[in-house]
Amino acid sequence: MQNARNPNTQSLKIEGIKDIIAVASGKGGVGKSTTAVNLAVSLAKRCQLKVGLLDADIYGPSIPLMMRLQGKPELSNDRKMIPIESYGVKCISIGSLVDEREAIVWRGPMVMKALEQLTRGVDWGILDVLVVDMPPGTGDAQISISQRLQLSGGLIVSTPQDVALLDARRGVKMFSKVNVPILGILENMSYFKCPKCNESSYIFGQGGARKTAEEMGLKFLGEIPLEVEIRSGSDEGVPIVMSKPDSVISQVYGDVAERV
Ligand code: ADP
């Protein structure tokens, strides 16, 4: 990891975990979880790191589906949850702990309580990096998580659409407020390449995230197109970096993994 650790004091930092990276977005549905999954698998497979993936998205935990996690985590002798390993990544999801319909109304302190169990209450072992799939948005829950997890860095995912970019700016401000270094902005759903005529259509506008990153003095981490195989892979629990490791898309995720 290139970034210095954030010197927050009150933390949930866990022994044995070198760096914690949060994947965040200003709003839901922009591809935050998809990014977290493909980044975590790339860090494990391509960068050969020991990687964990923590699904902290209380409003819609999708890691169990996207990583094809079966069953519930077992407990170790000292009553800690043992992460479920998939594609070389140790995974824990808030979906294993709470009822989504209940969690949706939770505020910061409740989220932190659940998160405490998901960090300290888990037998993570030794990890080079823990990727955290954050809840979407920039409210108290996200601020508490960012503060308490002692993040090494935060990565923002946005579509090129104006409204999403406005929310992404809020995400950047949120991390800055709690002194978390921002690793950069990754643009998702950048364009759609027609499989018949090969022409690219910029459905949500073109170049928005790159421009926002430049304006804010942040790294622009790349463009991920709208691609049927990303969606179907998510639904089937096979991340695209596993099903199509040599594709241009997997290359972008791999580059992001190497840059963070
Ligand atoms: P978020 O975590 O921001 O709510 P998700 O990662 O869950 O978003 O993505 C929302 C939906 O969009 C999922 O069904 C996912 O498979 C799909 N999706 C995300 N990125 C892409 C993409 N680049 N191309 C096609 N589908 C995508």
Pocket of ligand 1 contains residue 25 by CB under 6 Å: yes
> Of all residues in the chain, what percent carry a pLDDT higher than 70?
95
Task: Provide the H-helix boundaries in 56-160.
Answer: 63-66, 100-103, 108-119, 140-148
Query: In Å, how far are 169, 189, 210 from 215, measured between CA atoms?
Result: 10, 21, 9
CA of 29 to the centre of ligand 1 (A): 6
For 104-154, write each residue's pLDDT tens digit. Answer: 777 778 888 888 888 889 999 999 999 999 999 988 888 888 888 889 999
Q: How confident is the model at residue 58 (pLDDT cuts 50, 70, 90)?
A: confident
Pocket of ligand 1 contains residue 230 by CB under 6 Å: yes
Return the pLDDT at 105. 75
Average pLDDT for the chain: 91
Return the pLDDT at 10. 57
CA of 145 to the centre of ligand 1 (A): 22
CA of 234 to the centre of ligand 1 (A): 8
Cα–Cα dist 151/24, whole Å: 12
Return the pLDDT at 11. 65
Q: What is the ipTM of this complex?
A: 0.99
Q: What is the CA radius of gyration of the chain?
A: 17
Question: Nearest residue CA, atom 4 of ligand 1?
Answer: 29
Closest CA to 81 of 125, 119, 131, 123: 123
Pocket of ligand 1 contains residue 188 by CB under 6 Å: yes
Q: What is the DSSP letter of 156?
A: E
Q: Tell me the three state secondary structure of residue 17.
A: strand
User: What is the pTM assigned to this prediction?
Assistant: 0.93
Collect all residues with Cβ–Cβ distance below 8 Å to 193 and sequence separation of at least 6.
Answer: 199, 200, 225, 227
Q: How confident is the model at residue 64 (pLDDT cuts 50, 70, 90)?
A: very high
Cα–Cα dist 162/165, whole Å: 5
Task: Provide the H-helix boundaries in the chain.
Answer: 32-45, 63-66, 100-103, 108-119, 140-148, 162-177, 208-216, 228-236, 240-243, 248-259
